[in-house]
Amino acid sequence: MPGTPTRHAPRLLRRSSWPEARRIADILRKETIGGALLLAAALAALIWANSPWAQTYQELRAVEIGPAALHLHLDLATWAADGLLAIFFFVAGLELKREFVAGDLRDPWRAAVPVAAAFGGVVVPALAYLAVAGPAGAGQGWAIPTATDIAFALAVLAVIGRSLPDALRTFLLTLAVVDDLIAIVVIAVFYTSHLAVLPLLGALVPLTVFGVLVQRGVRSWWLLLPPALATWGLVHASGVHATVAGVLLALTVPVLRRKNGNASSAAPGHEAGPAERFEHRLRPISAGIAVPVFAFFSAGVALGGLSGLAGTLTEPVAAGIAAGLLLGKPLGILAATWLVARFTRATLAEGLAWIDLVGLAVLSGIGFTVSLLIGELAFGAAGAEQVKVAVLAGSLAAALLATVILRLRARAHRRVHEAENADSDADGVPDVYQES
């Protein structure tokens, strides 16, 4: 019809705004360093567990500390899984809340793609695991291959994909955070063997106190830490995995800074709100201490040589985990993304091709931190050994395959990247961001 404006088809994975791109770049730098530390910790644990001094590694994991009167006389491995990972999930909760409240994902269309991909990346790996491992006896491990390890995946991406568009990096980061949050819901619902209602209800009191303090702008750690620790302790005592407390605490933290009692509507990226300040302070602790220490206490497994490794990977549980990470994860992410594009008639943003998403989806098959955590909850210490072997093998295979695929695209993206840098204005903002 004459005079009717043309409606452009929506674009998948279009470029982030300039403030958001800078913030994502800062997160990627910290997570990349954390990924290197995570890898070093995992390798150290593997070497120690397969050395003549392997028994001392197991003895170290079994050292118990903490107040027995509060039922917190726990071994170091449990402290790493229940305590330190609560910091990891607190940061993940802050990141997700900020993205949906003040980040680019406050736009429902931008949010739909990574959220749909995350759900696809949870459902299909679970089905792949059950198809290979079978529901009888091994069915409780269905959630092991569902979570992407943020630090490991971003560390690999930093090495092999320096010239990849920011939109792909943002997509991977958001997808990983969303499926980690899905994983923590799965842990709370499906891996809580017993539930003590009174401690769980009691946790609402310090949680509310913490929320009121942060809403009023309190920043003093000596005021915020006691209710946070009390919330964690009561959630732990309730039988729900204590990492859930990290997410609950994160959801109480406001994203936008407040002026005269009202939330500021200033554009994101100008002045940090409470959530961003918490994230800025705690992300280095999460990526640099909490996750690597957990990896050190969780990754040590006796491989038994090549024959022992091959034998372990033929077991139904191990084969199901590897299939879920290497096949189910990329298939689920790609299928969900394609369905969003199909039903919205969307096209990929300029410069991107589906092979980019294939590489990114395969890279998402790197599962470590949350996969090992769920494995221990599902099978206990007795069955955790083959879970560790399968997670390590599947993650390594996914990393190698993703490296091959993304390297094929690196040259083309590098040329685009160099052209954009050449067009940067004097203010350092590339021209392609000027209209963002």
**What are the pLDDT digits (tens) for 43-95?**
999 999 999 999 999 999 999 999 988 888 999 999 999 999 999 999 988 98
Please tell me the predicted confidence (pLDDT) of residue 16.
Answer: 60
Q: Residue 185 domain-assigned? A: yes
Phi-psi label, residue 421: left if phi above 0, alpha if psi -120 to 50, beta otherwise = alpha
Q: Which two tokens stand for residue 154?
A: 């971003």
Residue 218 lies in a domain: no
The encoded tokens of residue 331 equal 């298939």
User: What is the residue whose two structure tokens read 């954390």?
Assistant: 34
Q: Is residue 211 part of a domain?
A: no
What range does the domain containing 335 cover? 11-191+241-418
183 within a domain of the structure (yes/no): yes
| Burial of 70 from C-beta contacts in 10 A (0-12 / 13-18 / 19+) | exposed
Q: What is the pLDDT of residue 226?
A: 95
Number of domains in the chain: 1
Residue 269 neighbours by CB under 8 Å, 6+ apart: 17, 18, 19, 20, 22, 23
Give residue 266's pLDDT.
43
The answer to whether residue 122 sits within a structural domain is: yes
Q: What is the pLDDT of residue 212?
A: 96
Q: What is the pLDDT of residue 433?
A: 46
The answer to whether residues 124 and 332 touch, using CB atoms and an 8 Å cutoff, is yes
Contact indicator for 402, 334 with CB cutoff of 8 Å? no
* 401 CB neighbour count, 10 Å cutoff: 17
Residue 370 lies in a domain: yes
Q: What is the pLDDT of residues 349-378, one digit of tens each?
A: 777 888 889 999 999 999 888 899 999 888
| Residues of the chain scoring pLDDT < 70 | 1-11, 13-31, 104, 136-137, 161-163, 258-272, 304-308, 410-436
CA 56 from chain center: how many Å?
Answer: 31
pTM of the full predicted structure? Answer: 0.81
* 196, part of any domain: no
The domain spanning residue 254 has which CATH number? 1.20.1530.10
Taking a C-beta distance cutoff of 8 angstroms, is the pair 147, 367 a contact? yes
